[in-house]
Structure 1
């Protein structure tokens, strides 16, 4: 496919853009404590400009001192912050990019203890994802916030940003006023559609007054809140028309609130381009440019949306994390070299939710522009890597890109390890792209892969590598429970997902973590009657919130019977015995039990190689079991620093 539409120039008011690809705002947790950008933030944004994106947005910038969803996000609420952001804008411009600032107030979607003030909202109604009730704003406070948005926009323009975007989506304060889900006011700011729009329209009016007629104003809006009683598409179309007449220069069409976060940051379970028709409906209703967002992970998807006239610009936020050079590669005819976002949400929102800087499972360089030394080593080493799971392949890549001579040893007939099984359940096929990307990267750096060849002490002694990285992974955990070691009746989740065993009609899955849930859905889709038992009081506690929400929906959809707080006691052929609240629970007529109770480290070589005379490093599950992102990061770090 030719990318003619993607690389058409565009214009939003007087802002000329080199193409139709946009990086929407993402919380990064990279900046300084005072909300200003540091070198890491600037390099992160510069990388996207250098990669050829048409327009790059900052993360959401708070308009008041306590506007952020947490204190780590950026802000531009006082003039003292202008010089730092001005330097950031200058650097992005020098790199050939255009940059916009998104301004916002989180309202009731913030941590309770983030600031000394109590969270505010249109009404004193709890956000389902939060554990507190916000305070309803007074009319005077609403007026003050309108002015705060205006003053923040003034600073945005003074910094030299190319445009300003008002964040009116994702359940933040402006969206809270717009949505009947959160706005229950009885005054001029609630009730009717136009009253609910009043706050947003006053902000648009004030921002326009401050920045002038020629400065581009973009409004990010929800087309659908995806919550009961929230905004739906028909009403949002009306809002789009009103915002257009109010002087907004472009609409950035999104969806979802914290209570439906899986629609804001859709994981792989949500089909790509899921919301394309919604944005197309808005596009057909207005004359101003429309930006589409919502799991556009492939340049071909962007081109198709633009060709079909469903949007004017395509925002690809997480795709830009996976590959900041996506536009440049596509323009150079190297689309196959693009590192694809796989929708895991582990390195991006999974990390920021834990208070860590944003990263990317698919690309270890992301947000590490000031961290890693990527220069070629003066004296390349001979490096052996045992295992080609995610930590092993990452380690091999980290070492090979620095010029070391790398050989990967894999006991199986294909690379990927347990990641192959991770890609088997419905909605996770994109995970295979990670293996494909690393296969290509290792080919590029001339790394050798020996399949059907486990690394042994004898090989190390014969070939004398300078360093060995052990990434032999993990094996299923088999607890000392009667009958659990009956391999004819009890199968591991890995074996089930890899197609190494047939499965009966009635299945009990033991373990309610992400692996257990994935396997349960996999079997249910295959027509099995699935029962899941979990000792803990709840299930899927090891998953990112968006992934967990989708898995819960799938388990319900496919009628998986879930028993929480249920401890496995004994397994017999045809029956499973458990205990719940001190009572014995018996599951009869069982054809198969699946052990999804976790894994344990598998590291048989470390002790054997203790006297081998070379450096030995253990990474991934072989060192300590952990999620895919952390295994990948640990492996890459070891390879880069070997």
Structure 2
């Protein structure tokens, strides 16, 4: 690993022992929403391999914030499990972050707290069409207050459990991303229209979380550089949003892209299509049929590019002073060196760490190290299989 990547980095009151972050990738290890030893072992393994900060994916802020039932949601009943997870990561010398998330109007299962999932604007809920939840509704003023409170309560629970940081998910087409994207936010009140208006609710969430965790506790957010389709959030929007996040007191921003319901391959930077494996893993015959009929448009095989978000992310780097986390196609010592030399403070890895959890230790002793990840994206489908998310190539 380069000398720069081996250097500690201070993020608010947390000192990371190097510059490498395990990006949030849904683990598939919370059946019924319950965290257990398998989830703890999954994250402890990255810490053992030298990763400085591992991110627990999709910690839903309420039962209704899940896209499907087998996702973790934060409440007192899971406190023991998430505390054990934090202790397992710490025992291996790492730090752990929890990704606070809400699905908004994109949900597969019947809602718990409402008759239909709620987002910035009503419309078709593509994910729930075959599950009895075909429509989404628009949030009202009482919904804003409730959801903001849920983010704060969830942040408090994670901090009490011993987590070292939090990541607020503002990307990939989930609730806060739905507010940021003009394609899904068609409101005409103070929460819609201009980018500052579309940022109003995400900034309220950030303020509520900050009020709970204090100034010394790191809050990161994940945000799209672009949604990847016409009419969606653009790079110019992202630059403006990151300036507002900086003003709002965010500690670091992780830059990503793509919209799960429309442009998932944009997030992956191309590579092999996970569609055949997704069809095999899908339990519902109706959903298997729909994947066969229409999945090719969402999940085409595309040429893969190393460091595929770098040029877009540089635009944000030039616009803000806040620490930035580079994510997207870094899988070698040279890639990490390039991202850090471009001014990014941390580098997040997903598929490369799934392929080799010891990547950080290898980088320290093998300066020419190149991950063997082929970007086949088989790991995307594995989240629905017994055993959870894993590399399906390096087995």
The TM-score bracket by the shorter chain reads 0.7 to 0.9
Please state if 1:237 is matched with 2:239.
yes
The equivalences for 1:556-575 within 5 A come to none
Gaps of 5+ in 2: 272-302
1:197-596 correspondence runs (5 A): 197-258=199-260, 259-268=262-271, 269-309=303-343, 311-333=344-366, 336=369, 339-346=371-378, 348-352=379-383, 357-364=388-395
The structure showing larger relative contact order (alpha-carbon pairs under 8 Å, at least 6 residues apart) is 2
* Alignment partner of 2:44 out of 25, 43, 46: 46
Give, in angstroms, the shift of residue 133 of structure 1: 2.6
- Tell me if 1:9 matches 2:8: yes
User: CA, structure 1 residues 17+108, in 2 after alignment: closer, same or farther (shift >3 Å)?
Assistant: same
Distance change (3 Å), C-alpha of 1:363 and 1:263:
same
**Native 8 Å contact 2:108 2:127 kept in 1:** no
- State whether structure 2 residue 92 is matched by structure 1 residue 100: no
Residue 57 of structure 2 aligns to a residue whose secondary structure is strand
1:170 and 1:255 in contact (8 A); partners too: yes
Shift of 1:112: 4.0
Question: Take 2:73 and 2:269, find their aligned partners in 1: how far apart are those partners?
Answer: 26
- How many residue pairs align between the two structures? 358
Matched residue SS, 2:188:
coil
User: Which segments of 5 or more consecutive residues in structure 1 lack a partner in the other structure?
Assistant: 365-642
Output one character per residue of 1:553-589: Cα deviation in whole Å (capped at 9) or x when no partner. Answer: xxxxxxxxxxxxxxxxxxxxxxxxxxxxxxxxxxxxx
Conservation of the 8 A alpha-carbon contact between 1:225 and 1:260: yes
- Is the contact between residue 340 and residue 362 of structure 1 (CA under 8 Å) also seen in structure 2? no
Q: What's the C-alpha RMSD, in Å, of the aligned pairs?
A: 1.8
Residue 178 of structure 2 aligns to a residue whose secondary structure is: helix
The CA distance in 2 between the partners of 1:289 and 1:134, in whole Å, is 35
User: Cα gap change, 1:128/1:272 in structure 2, threshold over 3 Å: closer, same or farther?
Assistant: farther
Structure number with the higher strand fraction is: 1
Work out which of the two has the higher radius of gyration on C-alpha atoms and give 1 or 2. Answer: 1
Note the alpha carbon deviations across 1:174-215, whole angstroms, 9 max, x for none: 000111110001122111221111110100111111111211
Equivalent-residue separation in structure 2 for 1:263 and 1:39 (angstroms): 33
Equivalent position SS for 2:56? strand
Mapped to 1, the partners of 2:135 and 2:333 lie a distance apart of 42
8 A Cα contact 2:9 2:19, kept in partner: yes
Distance 1:341 1:61 in 2: 27
The aligned counterpart of 2:35 is 37
Contact 2:100 2:166 in 1 (8 A): yes
More helix as a share of residues: 2
Corresponding residue number in structure 2 for 1:592: none
Q: Alpha-carbon deviation of 1:154? A: 0.5
* TM-score relative to the length of structure 1: 0.54
> 2:154 aligned with 1:155, yes or no?
no
Which residue number corresponds to residue 412 of structure 1?
Answer: none
Q: Secondary structure at the match of 2:319?
A: coil
**Partner of residue 141, structure 2:** 139
